[in-house]
Structure 1
C-alpha cells in the first residue's frame, strides 16, 4: 500500500494537464462565459440604441435551438406525418428529412459578422464599383412606422449587388435578413452569408415537406419581429424590366397573419437601379435562350475580374456609373387586409403582390444611362450630338417626373447626367462617337434596351 510506484514523466504531464483542464472547465469557464455573455448583451443593447429597427431576440437565439424549434414545430410535425403517409416511408425517415431542411434553412446570425465585417465589406465594395447614392426617401413615413411592427423591405431584383448596396444603405436602420437562392450555397460563401442572418431557399423546389418547413420558418421569424428583405420577382430580371411578383414568400407571411394580433407587418417598397449591371451580358444571353451554365458564368466572372484589375493597373478604370436606392411609403398589412375583408385569400395575396410591385416600380430611380438609353431608342439610328441628346432628355425627364418618377441628377446638372450616360454607353461599345455625334450600334441594341427597360414602366 505504501510502496513506491514509478511512472513515466509524460504520463504525469498528461494527467496534470487533464486535471487542469477539468478544473478550468468547472470553475473558470462558467465565469468566462458569463463575462463574455454580459459583454455581448451590452454590445447588443448599445447597437439597438442606434438602430431604428432593433435586433430581435429571435435572431440571437442559438442556431441549434432554432433548428430544433423549427423541426419540432406542431405544423412541421403534421407535415412530416402527411409526407410519411403519402410517400409510404417510415415516420422517422420523414422527420429526419424535415430536420435536414431545418438545418439548411436556419441561419446563424452574428452581430459581429454583420456589423463588423459585413457592413464594412458592403461599403467598400459598393464604393469601389459605383458612385452610390441614396435616392428618394420618405423619411417622415419611415419614422412613423410602428416600432413593434415586423418590417419587410420589398425590392426589385436587378443584380446580385442588390444585397450588398441595400445592406450598406440600410445599415443605420436595421440588420436585414435576406432570402438567398442556391447560388450562394458554396463554401466559404455559404458560412459567411449564413452568419449575416440570411436564410437559404430552393426557389424551384416542389417538395411539399420542404415548402412547409420553409413557410414555418418565415412565419416564425415574422411573428418574432425579424426585419426581412425579399425580392418578389424571385430572380434577376433578364431583360431589365420590372416583372410581376411571385407570391411564394408573400403568401407564407400573409397566410399565418392574424389581424387581431398586436404586431403588425409593414412592407417598405425599395427601388434599385444601376448605370451598369455587372451581370447584364449573362442575363441577356439567358434571355436569348442561350446556355449559361456554371462554366459560362465562371469564365465570364474570371474575365471580368482580370479585365477590371488590368484597367486599374493601367489607370484606365472608370467606376460603373451611379447606383441608387430609393425607399417608398410603407404599407401596413393590417390596413391592407381591412380593405380586403370580403375577398378570398388567393385574390388578397395576388392584390398585395400587385400593390407592392406598383409601389416598388414608382420609386425605382431614373439614372443617367436609363434616361439616355430611352432617348436614343426613341430616335433609332439617327446620329445625335450631346446638345440634341440633352434637349431630348430634358423633355423625357419632364414626362417622367410628371408621372411621379424620381431621378438622381448627378451634381444637380442635367448636362453632366447626359455626359455620364453617353460615356457609359460608349465604354460598353453600344454607342460610337464620330465627329461629335453618337450613333447606336445595331448589334448592341439589346444592351441599350436592357437599361431603357429599367424605367419603361414609369413612362
Structure 2
C-alpha cells in the first residue's frame, strides 16, 4: 500500500495540473470572484449617485446566470421543443443550439470598462474627428420621464460612428445597451463590445428558435429597466435618406408589454455628419442594390496612418461637424392607449421615424450640397451663400447649425469638405457638382431632403 509507484514525468505534470486547477476552481477562484464582485458593486454604487438613471441590477447580473435564465425561460423551452420536432433532432441537441445562441447574444457588462475606458475613448474619438454639437435637446419633456420607466433611444443610422457619438453624449444619463450587427462579432472587438453591454443580433437569421431567444432577451432586458439604443431602420442608410422602419427589435420590445407594469419610453435621437467615413462604400452598395459590403482592416489602417501623418505635419483638419438631437419622448403606455385598433408596432414605428426625421440636424455640408444640386448652373461664392440662406429660410422648424452664426463661414466649411474630396469643383470662380461624384453629393443632400417637404410640429 505504501510502496512507491513509478510514472512518466509528463503524466505526473498532467495530474498535478488537474489538481491545481481543481484547487483553484473550488477554493481560491470563488474568493477571488467574490472580492472583485464586491469591488464592482462599490464602483457601481458611486456611479449611480452621479447618473441621471442608475444602472439597473439586470445589467449587472452575472453573464452565466443570465444565460441560464434565458435558456430555461418557459417560452424558450417551448421553442426548443418545436425546433427539435421540426428539425427531427433530439431535444438535447436543440437545447445546445439555443444555449449557443444565448451565449452569442448575452453581453458581459463591465461598469469599470464602460465608464473608465469606453466613454473616455468615445469622447477622444468624437472630438478628435469632429466638431461635436448638440443640435436640439427637449429638456423639459425628457426631464418628465418616469424614473422607473425603461428608456429606449431610437436613432437613425448614418455611420458606425453613431455608437461612439451617442455613447459620449449620453454618458451622464446612464450606460447604453446597443443592439449591434455581425460586424462586431470579430475577435477581439467582440470581447470589448460585450463588456460595454452591447448584445449581438444576426440581421439575416430567419430561424424561429434564434428569434425566440433574441426576443426573450430583449423582453427581459426591457422589463429589467435596461436603457437601450436601437436603430429602427435596421442598417446603415445607403442613400443618405431616412429608410422605412423595420419591426424587429421594436416588435420584441412592444410585444408582451404589461400596461400596468414598467412603462417603456422611446426617445427619438437624430444624427447627422458633415462627413460619413463609410459614405463611398455605402453609396456603391446602394448603386449595386445590395448590402454586402465589408470594411477591410487594411483600409482602416491606411486611413488612420494618413490622418496621423497629416497631424504630424500640422495639416490635419477635423471632418467638419457632427451633431445629435434628442427629441420629445413617446410613452408606450400612452401611445398604446391612444390607438383605436389592436396594432401598435407599425404605427409606433412610423411615429418614431417621423419624430426622428424632424430632429435631424442641418449642417454645412448637407446645406451646400443641396444648394449646388438645386442650382441650374454653377454658382459664384456670393450666389452660393445666398442660396444657402434661402434654404435655411425654408426650414422653419428644423434644427439648423450655422457655425459662428456666419453664413459665409458655414459655406466655407461645407465647400472645404466637398472640394477636398473633389465632390465639388471650382471653375472660373464658380462652384458646381462633379459629374463623377454626383451620387455622393446626393447622399449628403438626402440627409435633410425630407425637411423641405415635412416640417410639422411634434405635439
Partner of 1:11: none
SS in 1 for 2:46: helix
Are the equivalent residues in 2 in contact too, given 1:381–1:440 (CA < 8 A)?
no
Question: Structure 1 stretches of 5 or more lacking a match?
Answer: 6-13
2:275 is equivalent to residue 276 of structure 1: yes
CA RMSD of superposed structures (Å) = 2.7
SS in 2 for 1:167: helix
2:413 is equivalent to residue 395 of structure 1: no
* Counterparts of 2:200 and 2:71, CA distance in 1: 16
Match of residue 412, structure 1, among 401, 405, 408: 405
* Counterparts of 1:445 and 1:266, CA distance in 2: 40
Are the equivalent residues in 2 in contact too, given 1:285–1:292 (CA < 8 A)?
no
Partner of 2:252: 252
The change in CA–CA distance for 1:30 and 1:389 in structure 2 (over 3 A counts) is: same
2:152 is equivalent to residue 152 of structure 1: yes
* Counterparts of 1:25 and 1:85, CA distance in 2: 38
Are the equivalent residues in 1 in contact too, given 2:378–2:430 (CA < 8 A)?
no
2:78 is equivalent to residue 85 of structure 1: no
Question: Structure 2 stretches of 5 or more lacking a match?
Answer: 5-12, 453-459
2:447 is equivalent to residue 454 of structure 1: yes
Q: Deviations over 1:196-238 (max 9, x none)?
A: 0000000111111000000000000000000000000011000
Q: Deviations over 1:112-136 (max 9, x none)?
A: 1111111111111111111111110
Moved more, 17-26 or 158-167: 17-26
Q: TM-score with structure 2 length normalisation?
A: 0.90
2:210 is equivalent to residue 210 of structure 1: yes
SS in 2 for 1:335: helix
Are the equivalent residues in 1 in contact too, given 2:40–2:111 (CA < 8 A)?
no
Are the equivalent residues in 1 in contact too, given 2:154–2:268 (CA < 8 A)?
yes
1:183-202 aligned within 5 A? 183-202=183-202
1:173-322 aligned within 5 A? 173-261=173-261, 263-289=262-288, 297-322=296-321
Partner of 1:335: 334
**TM-aligned CA deviation for residue 57 of structure 1:** 0.4
Partner of 2:52: 52
Q: TM-score with structure 1 length normalisation?
A: 0.90
* Counterparts of 1:21 and 1:293, CA distance in 2: 45
The change in CA–CA distance for 1:203 and 1:117 in structure 2 (over 3 A counts) is: same
* Counterparts of 2:417 and 2:432, CA distance in 1: 14
SS in 1 for 2:328: coil
1:430-445 aligned within 5 A? 430-445=423-438
* Counterparts of 2:24 and 2:280, CA distance in 1: 58
* Counterparts of 2:182 and 2:20, CA distance in 1: 46
Moved more, 152-161 or 419-428: 419-428
**TM-aligned CA deviation for residue 290 of structure 1:** 7.5
Q: Say how many residue pairs are matched.
A: 445
* Counterparts of 1:28 and 1:219, CA distance in 2: 36
SS in 2 for 1:439: strand
Are the equivalent residues in 2 in contact too, given 1:384–1:439 (CA < 8 A)?
no
Partner of 2:40: 40
* Counterparts of 2:61 and 2:70, CA distance in 1: 12
Match of residue 355, structure 1, among 346, 351, 358: 351
Q: Deviations over 1:333-388 (max 9, x none)?
A: 00000011x4133xx21100000000011111000001111111110442322x21
Are the equivalent residues in 2 in contact too, given 1:179–1:198 (CA < 8 A)?
yes
* Counterparts of 1:245 and 1:193, CA distance in 2: 25
Q: Deviations over 1:163-190 (max 9, x none)?
A: 0000000001110000000011101000
* Counterparts of 1:152 and 1:172, CA distance in 2: 15
Q: Deviations over 1:51-106 (max 9, x none)?
A: 11111000100000000100110000001111111121111111111111000000
* Counterparts of 1:294 and 1:281, CA distance in 2: 11
1:371-386 aligned within 5 A? 371-385=367-381
